[in-house]
Structure 1
Amino acid sequence: MFTGIIEALATVEKIEKEDTNVHFTFSCPFTNELKIDQSVAHNGTCLTVVGIDGDDYTLTAIDETLERTNLGDLKIGDVVNVERCTKVGSRLDGHIVQGHVDTIGTCIGINDFEGSTEFVFEYDYDEVTVSKGSITVNGVSLTVVQSENKLFSVHIIPYTIEHTNFHTLQIGSKVNLEFDIIGKYVRKMLRN
């Protein structure tokens, strides 16, 4: 369980393929606090730490993860948003985030609003967003501003742009999307 409040940026140090799996080695400011078998969200994707070596740690992504997320597009030197699991008793500053990416979205618009920046995303997936509802983009808990069929926008403050990998996004960038878990359950119940 995560909150979508990003702790740091992690840098891709090494990528190794093994059969259909990919082992990613990252470095980040809190590597020395990690433990083997710990869950850490990378661009909103919950992955397990399988190795630690000095300032670097390694995770393994299976083919399902690589197909459903933007992790398969990572290159050496890329940065991802990282968040460790929520501690029981901690404040839930963002929203309930599982770390189970639903689909990949594409950035189709970036607009400067002199104080905030609007990012517009489209996706091809059977889920919906609602205006003022929650969405997770690359692991970041955000509020939907405008919601249309398979398209939504969010407005980002300068602090969030600077402290997440939103500063690297451009038109055409692929992002991981996790739709609000409560909304998904409500939608499923209404369908039944």
Structure 2
Amino acid sequence: MFTGIVQGTAEVVAIEEAEAFRTHVLVLPEPLREGLEIGASVAHNGVCLTVTAIDDERVAFDLMRETLRVTNLGELAVGDRVNVERAARFGDEIGGHAMSGHVMATAELVELDEAPNNRRLWFELPHALGRFLFAKGYIGVDGASLTIGEVRPGTATQGPRFCVDLIPETLARTILVDRVPGDRVNIEIDPQTQAIVETVERVMAARGE
């Protein structure tokens, strides 16, 4: 489990490609390597990955076909940076919201509004995920736990859109400061919101409503 409180960023320093498979190597800062062992879970842009090798500051992770298909990690190149969060431990403060590290889709950044000391980002999602969007609800964007500011419904030619507002601390700690229109980010819907919406849908379907 993760909390969506990004602990820092890490640079991709090597990539090994294979058929429908990829290994990438990050340089992790020392605080993020403390107690790290092979088999541990580390979120990259909100995607839960398993440590497969540790060589001092260089830490390797394998990406399977489904991960490459659903997330933005397959677009990474050497020199790119990713948001990083170690798995939560019992007793940790939950400053964000509970996240599984299972990305559901990517969203495109379609609008960027800069203002003093903050930044508003608008993202467009696939139509199927629009029913999970609620103003003031939680959402995971590239692994960062954020609050939805506003929601715009989708149309026949455009998916639903939502915005988030980023404070200076979030901009300083994450790669969201570098995102520009056209970029794609990983999206994890709040698990509680998903469970409630899908339960209500099943109950209404059973009643024929």
TM-score (ref. length: structure 1): 0.97
Q: Within 5 Å, which residues of 2 pair with 1:56-95?
A: 56-95=58-97
Q: Give the secondary-structure state (helix, strand or coil) at the position aligned to 1:145.
A: strand
1:108 aligns with 2:100: no
Q: Give the residue type in structure 2 aligned to 1:164.
A: T
Consecutive unaligned residues in structure 1, runs of 5 or more: none
Residue 148 of structure 1: how far off its partner (Å): 2.1
Larger radius of gyration between Structure 1 and Structure 2: 2
Q: Does 1:137 align with 2:147?
A: no
Is structure 2 residue 185 aligned with structure 1 residue 185? Answer: no
- Percent identity (aligned): 34
TM-score of the two chains, using structure 2 as the length reference: 0.89
Corresponding residue of 2:17:
17
Does 2:200 align with 1:173? no
| Matched letter for residue 146 of structure 1 | E
Q: What per-residue deviation string (whole Å, max 9, x for no partner) do you get for residues 18-63 of structure 1?
A: 2321001001212354210000000000000000112100000001
Q: Which structure 2 segments of 5+ residues have no match?
A: 154-159, 203-209
2:72 and 2:80 map into 1 onto residues whose CA distance is: 12
2:56 — aligned with what? 54
RMSD over aligned Cα, in angstroms? 1.0
Distance in 2 separating the partners of 1:33 and 1:46: 18
Q: Deviations over 1:110-136 (max 9, x none)?
A: 102322110000011412210000000
Q: In structure 1, what is the Cα distance between the partners aligned to 2:60 and 2:127? A: 30
Cα drift, residue 83 of structure 1:
0.2
- 1:85-126 deviations in whole A, cap 9, x for unaligned? 111121110001110001000001110232211000001141
Higher helix residue share: 2
CA distance in 2, matches of 1:118, 1:135: 15
- Aligned-pair distance for 1:171? 0.6
SS at 1:47 equivalent: strand
